[in-house]
Structure 1
Amino acid sequence: MESCTINSPLGHTKIIGNDEGVSSISIVDSEDKISETIPEPLQKCAEQLMAYFENSLKVFDLKLNPKGTEFQKKVWKQLETIPYGKTMSYLELSKQLGDAKAIRAVASANGKNPLWIIVPCHRVIGRDGSLTGYAGGLHRKQWLLNHESQNKQQSLF
Structure 2
Amino acid sequence: MKKLKRLTLILYNSYDKTRWHEAHKRAIARAAPICYAFDCNLAIMDFPCKMEDILNIKTTIGNSGEYLEKLIEKNRFFIVDKFLPQFGIPIASTSKPDEKKAITPLDTAYLLKKKPIGVYVGLGRHGLPKDIMESCVYHLDVTEKRVSLETCTAIGSIPAVIYCYTKYI
- TM normalised by structure 2 equals 0.29
User: TM (normalized to structure 1)?
Assistant: 0.31
